[in-house]
Structure 1
Amino acid sequence: MLDALTLDQMRTFVTVADSGSFRAAANKLYRVQSGVSVAIGNLEAQLGVLLFDRSGHRPVLTPEGKVLLSNARDILLRVDALRAKARGLGDGLELELPICVDTLFPIHEVGLAIAQVRATYPSVTFRVAVEPLGGPQLALKEKRCTLAIMVGEDFRDPRITFEALCSVAQVAVVAAEHPLARQGISHTSGVMEFADHLQIVLSDPSKVSEGRDFGVVSPQTCRVSTQDAKHGLILAGVGWGRLPLWLVKRDLDEGRLVRLSTNLLGRNGELESEVYLAHRLDEPLGPAARQFAEALFSLKTSNGPVPTT
């Protein structure tokens, strides 16, 4: 009987579990409620277990249903990935390639990769968004981009595939005239040395990291929406914060900024994070997207990682 299982039954099962009722699932699937009930009943008969307890006002997953739900999700994800790969093999050239880039990644390197693609496919237009934290992940989930460049390990999703690209370093910095610069922060400096000074913090425009903070150690914060704003405020002496090393290297070399080399903020005030090129498992990559990925990896292989010293 297990050979008679269908993908439609499994999608119906997952949809009922996610929506909380047969009626809501029917609306999402554009089907009548009785059809959803029949599909679940047939699936239960074929599996030989009850998936939902129907004794209450709303169907509730049984212990067996909870176990099998994760298996159903995994099967559907693999099938979607297979279909996407097959479609990608037969798809023509994209008219547009939307990309979302984490604000910690140097945009000029994205430009170099785009230039290579444009040399081969001059008719393809590009749309590039630069967003911090959970922004690139959300853009992929909402299908606002085909490729995303994401930084760190905090925004994983089973529907998204990740391939390590390089590493990027963030360093804690402050303006040369700021009291913290004159205070002489050492490797052993702790939270108390920063408690009276404003920390400039980049906010997540999405709700992906709602309720979470990353690297915030000062009780006094100024939250900004862009990396440029954070950079500008730190340069102006308003406060201190972490910025990508590639962005502030010239400021450091020319003495406008100084590093805060405390181990409280990473080894010698430096935090290195992995950068990933990501895309949805269920969305095929066309020729331009594949060449962009190849160009970006080729750039990182020939140039090495984003400088950390």
Structure 2
Amino acid sequence: MLDALTLDQMRTFVTIAESGSFRAGAARLSRVQSAVSHAIANLETELGVALFDRSGHRPALTPEGQALLANARDILLRVDAMRARARGLGEGIELELSLIVDTLFPIETVGSALNEMRTIYPNVSIRLAVSPLGGPLDGLVERRFTLGIMVGEDFRDPAIARQALSTVQIVAVVAAHHPLGLSADDGALENAELADYLQIVQSDPSQRTAGRDFGVLSPQTCRVSSQDTKYAMIRAGLGWGRLPLWQVQRDLEEGRLVRMPTTALGRNSQVGAECYLTHRIDEPLGPAARVFGEALARLSAAPGSR
């Protein structure tokens, strides 16, 4: 029976193994050496194996002791994590931070902010989703997420608080080998001329845009379910579309993509959209969410973050 095993015995075992001797282990534990030796003897009795070879000048781990040391460390690590989580619960720290992010927002910035939060609250789990258009608002309204990052002014709800973060630049692009890309230097195209070419359009997983289109200028459309798919189809030359500048900057610099030859989609085919950190006003944010929000605001405002 192993029921008599105690955490104190296992902590003593690990401390002695790491210290190299019973005397050094006792000093680290602030105990007399005899008490430490007695604890290890009781542990060996409970386990039915010798953990240390005491025949030499210093005790050495037996093969059995070496094998069981990893188990003891694992148990103590889990117990310490449990204690930390319990302290967090007592302080109101969230068990989980759930976040839904608009596909237009630079996800790497989110990762950096989450990393800062985890350095302060390492025991808070993270649940992260990325969704376009009305998806982030639905996630908050339906209480599936604590925080949201929304882009643009098209989706608002009185129950949702918004904090401005930064501006993301949206640019209309086309593959350099596409007919529109090849004619990019021939002058600006009018809306009627754009109707001759396929436009790659992001579908909305919510019902908030039913019967509405945002920035759709061509009757010929290819609707896709993800921004990565949209990006891939545009790069393949299937059609043109609008994407965040942070995603296509390198393609523009290296000539794989070009800006659309039209002024109908903003100056230089580019417009800015405001980004917001959002949450339900009837659900106050916990410590981890507040730390994340502060980090995200600072990182979003930093030079070069856009």
TM-score when normalising by structure 1: 0.68
One-letter amino acid matched to 2:148: A
For residue 190 of structure 1, what is the aligned residue in structure 2?
Answer: 190
Indicate conservation of the 8 Å contact 2:171/2:259, yes or no: yes
SS in 2 for 1:92: coil
For residue 276 of structure 1, what is the aligned residue in structure 2?
Answer: 276
SS in 1 for 2:93: coil
For residue 213 of structure 1, what is the aligned residue in structure 2?
Answer: 213
Alignment of 1:68-147 (within 5 A): 92-147=92-147
The count of aligned residue pairs is 217
One-letter amino acid matched to 1:238: L
TM-score when normalising by structure 2: 0.69
Q: Aligned equivalents of 1:146 and 1:106: distance in 2?
A: 19
Shift of 1:302: 2.7
SS in 2 for 1:167: strand
Q: For structure 1, list consecutive stretches of 5 or more residues without a partner in the other structure.
A: 1-89
Shift of 1:91: 6.3
1:269–1:141: structure 2 CA closer, same or farther, 3 Å change rule?
same
Q: Aligned equivalents of 1:262 and 1:302: distance in 2?
A: 31
Q: Aligned equivalents of 1:119 and 1:236: distance in 2?
A: 41
Q: Aligned equivalents of 2:304 and 2:178: distance in 1?
A: 34
For residue 18 of structure 1, what is the aligned residue in structure 2?
Answer: none
- Show CA shifts across 1:198-242 (max 9, x none): 000001000011111000000100000100000000000000000
For residue 252 of structure 2, what is the aligned residue in structure 1?
Answer: 252
Indicate conservation of the 8 Å contact 2:174/2:181, yes or no: yes
Shift of 1:195: 1.3
1:292–1:178: structure 2 CA closer, same or farther, 3 Å change rule?
same
Q: Aligned equivalents of 1:151 and 1:211: distance in 2?
A: 20
One-letter amino acid matched to 1:143: R
1:91–1:259: structure 2 CA closer, same or farther, 3 Å change rule?
same
Q: Aligned equivalents of 1:165 and 1:187: distance in 2?
A: 36
Indicate conservation of the 8 Å contact 1:170/1:272, yes or no: yes
Shift of 1:182: 1.3
Q: Aligned equivalents of 2:91 and 2:212: distance in 1?
A: 40
Indicate conservation of the 8 Å contact 2:109/2:305, yes or no: no
For residue 201 of structure 2, what is the aligned residue in structure 1?
Answer: 201
Indicate conservation of the 8 Å contact 1:186/1:260, yes or no: no
Alignment of 1:137-176 (within 5 A): 137-176=137-176
- Show CA shifts across 1:47-99 (max 9, x none): xxxxxxxxxxxxxxxxxxxxxxxxxxxxxxxxxxxxxxxxxxx9610000000
Superposition CA RMSD, Å: 1.4
Q: For structure 2, list consecutive stretches of 5 or more residues without a partner in the other structure.
A: 1-89
SS in 2 for 1:208: coil
Pair member with larger Rg: 2
Indicate conservation of the 8 Å contact 2:160/2:280, yes or no: yes
One-letter amino acid matched to 1:198: L
Indicate conservation of the 8 Å contact 2:176/2:255, yes or no: yes
